[in-house]
Amino acid sequence: MENRKMTHKDVAKKYFRMSDSLLGYVSKNQIYSEMASKIPFIYVDSKGNMHEIKSFNDLEKVVNDVVSYIRHNKEK
């Protein structure tokens, strides 16, 4: 089993339009279904911590972290 490594920036670039407004153009459900096929993988969150994503519960943490990252950068 080969674990892939993804960061919060990788996910944000792939699933969200990275413009001045940083508004998401896809729904959370689309992200869940798209990323579910990539389980298992290693995820590096916005704080630099590594997590092994093995389940949908873990995937929820990824999506929430990415959304928080985008909202935080939107305010800058």
Per-residue model confidence (pLDDT) at position 50: 96
Contact 46, 63 (CB under 8 A): no
- Domain extent at residue 41: 4-74
Element (H, E) at 70: helix 56-74
Per-residue model confidence (pLDDT) at position 14: 78
Statement: residue 1 has pLDDT above 50: no
Per-residue model confidence (pLDDT) at position 43: 95
What's at 53, amino acid-wise? I
Query: CA nearest 8: which of 26, 18, 54?
Result: 18
Question: pLDDT tens for residues 5-62?
Answer: 899 888 888 776 655 454 555 667 777 888 888 899 999 998 999 999 999 899 998 9
Domain count, the chain: 1
Task: Please state the pTM of the whole predicted model.
Answer: 0.72
Statement: residue 72 has pLDDT above 70: yes
